[in-house]
Amino acid sequence: MRIFRTKQALQSYLDELREAKQRVALVPTMGALHEGHLTLVKEAQQIADVVVCSIFVNPTQFNDPGDLERYPRPEENDLQLLQTIHCDIAFMPTVEEMYPETEEPWHLDLGSLEKVWEGEKRPGHFQGVTQIVYKLFSLVEPDVACFGQKDFQQIMVIQRLIELKKLSVVLHICPTVRNEKGLALSSRNMRLSAEGKHKALALYRSLRHIERYFEVRNLNTLRTEALDILHQEGEIDVEYLAICETRSLQEVDQIEPRKKHVALLVAWIEGVRLIDNMLLD
């Protein structure tokens, strides 16, 4: 595995690969890698000749400086994990490398996607996400980029970025990776106790309940039942639980024919913010 820390070095190497007509996939991450990330890399290996995994804790998408400071950065372990699955390239730049002093102001018109759910709860978050993803797309020029379904709103935002900037990259969405009990894998899980991880299983149970009865129950009733499942566990603070149309992420109270739907859930356990979702159609 090759490790690059500067844009110039990575670009020079990728230029050689493109001359050889190699198909390139990008897997953007913020490190603290787990099986979910590794699954993205493995899937990318099936659809491309060369896989670039970027590891960069992007400061512009954090609203809370404390959250940025606490974010885990186990660099050595991350590299070992990537080597075990034979990832081709790890790109690990510094903040100064990705955000030079001459940085131009960034703003993208994300429409209503920036005003609901994560957009409303974390103002400016998706501007930071699109800013760094656009930088990576421009640098790597991937044929395909792999993202996990767990951050569903982020995927819709990146699709909007691709459309607005008229990029040729194809977005490949990989299903959420869960442990054997259903907990969505996340770097934030590292901050949960064993009891906290057990409580977090209620998130999956509530989403599965919505999925199971989606086509046969009133949606408002279904949402109430799913909230009851969460509240029965105790010490789970639900930030939001919504059933939405997938593209706009506007909440719906009845199924819209010929449209797709998703259940979005964010909850706090032991001071850790957990995010999950379930495609319903």
Please check whether residue 182 lies inside any domain of the structure: no
Backbone angles phi and psi of 204, in degrees to 5 = -65, -40
- How confident is the model over 118-169, as pLDDT tens digits? 999 999 999 999 999 999 999 999 999 999 999 999 999 999 999 999 999 9
User: Which residues fall in the annotated binding site for beta-alanine?
Assistant: 61
* Same domain membership, residue 142 and residue 53: yes
Average pLDDT over residues 92-107: 94
Range of the domain at 209: 187-279
Distances (CA, A) of 1 to 63, 82, 90, 176: 34, 8, 7, 26
Backbone angles phi, psi at 280, to 5 degrees: -110, -20
Q: How many helices and strands (H and E) does the chain possess?
A: 10, 9
Question: Is residue 266 predicted with pLDDT exceeding 90?
Answer: yes
- How much is the average pLDDT of 254-269? 96
* Torsion from C-alpha of 267, 269, 274, 280, nearest 10 degrees: -50
Residues 145 and 226 in one domain: no
- Active-site positions read 37
Q: Are residues 207 and 74 in the same domain?
A: no
Q: Residue 281's pLDDT is what? A: 86
Q: Is residue 167 domain-shared with residue 256, that is, in the same domain? A: no
Q: How many domains does one find in the chain?
A: 2
Closest to 56 measured CA to CA, from 1, 129, 138: 129
Could you tell me if residue 148 is inside a domain? yes
Of 220, 219, 207, 211, nearest to 276 (Cα)?
Answer: 207
Annotated binding site for ATP: which residue ranges? 30-37, 148-151, 177, 185-188
Q: What is the CATH number of the domain that holds 117?
A: 3.40.50.620
Helices (H), the chain: 7-19, 35-47, 65-70, 75-84, 95-98, 118-121, 125-140, 152-165, 194-213, 219-233
Asked if residue 160 and residue 213 are part of one domain, the reply reads no
Task: Give percent of the chain above pLDDT 90.
Answer: 93
Closest CA to 211 of 182, 170, 169: 182
Asked whether residue 32 carries a pLDDT value surpassing 90, the answer given is: yes
Assess whether 144 and 203 both reside in one domain: no
Check which CATH number belongs to the domain holding 246 and give it.
3.30.1300.10
Category of 150 on φ-ψ map: left (φ > 0), alpha (ψ -120 to 50) or beta: alpha
> By the 8 A CB rule, do 270 and 152 touch?
no
Shared domain check, 191 and 136: no
Assess if residue 181 is contained within a domain. Answer: no
**What per-residue confidence (pLDDT) applies to 63?**
87
Taking 90 as the threshold, does the pLDDT of residue 115 lie above it? yes
